């Protein structure tokens, strides 16, 4: 039995298409990888909507939106919904780190979120294909 379901789409946040971005909210792209029977059969680099760096609505690590915990509140919910809409065809989202609000929003959108300490996208794909990618939930900020 294969470690993956046939035709699983995985979105990996990245800035360069080769490494996993360490901060979900600041990544420039999603690399969407289609896995079929444990092999990557398609890759598509998609520009991400509304990264934090694109708008000065939020200064990461230096305060929170009008009394809300990091990554929560109405403005964050709007950004997260736009980010999730871009990968609505995916089942899994992988990042180096994410805020709790983003994790909650992505899971509510039907995505399984996995945070990883692996930096190489190739290593992530190999771990996924082998069914050995571990979720490092401690990387949530």
71-128 pLDDT, tens digit each:
556 688 888 999 999 999 999 999 999 999 999 999 999 999 999 999 999 999 999 9
Tens digits of residue pLDDT in 35-47: 998 889 999 999 9
**Sign of the Cα pseudo-torsion (108, 114, 115, 119, in order):** negative
Strand order in the sheet with 29-36: 39-47, 29-36, 8-14, 92-95, 112-115
pLDDT confidence of 51, banded at 50, 70, 90?
low
What's this model's pTM, rounded to 2 decimal places? 0.81
DSSP run (H or E) holding 108: helix 100-108
In this structure, which topology does domain 8-139 adopt according to CATH?
A: Nucleotidyltransferase; domain 5 (3.30.420)
Confidence of residue 15 (pLDDT cuts 50, 70, 90): very high
């Amino acid at each position: 039995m294969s470690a993956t379901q046939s035709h699983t789409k995985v979105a990996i946040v990245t800035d360069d298409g080769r490494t996993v971005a360490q901060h979900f909210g600041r990544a420039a792209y999603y690399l969407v990888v289609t896995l079929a029977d444990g092999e990557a059969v398609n890759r598509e680099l998609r520009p991400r909507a509304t990264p934090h760096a694109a708008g000065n609505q939020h200064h990461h690590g230096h305060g929170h939106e009008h009394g809300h915990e990091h990554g929560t509140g109405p403005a964050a919910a709007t950004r997260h919904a736009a980010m999730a809409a871009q990968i609505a065809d995916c089942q899994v989202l992988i990042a180096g780190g994410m805020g709790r609000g983003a994790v909650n929003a992505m899971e509510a959108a039907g995505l399984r979120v996995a945070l990883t300490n692996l930096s190489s996208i190739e290593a992530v794909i190999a771990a996924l294909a082998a069914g050995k990618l571990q979720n490092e939930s401690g990387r949530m900020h």
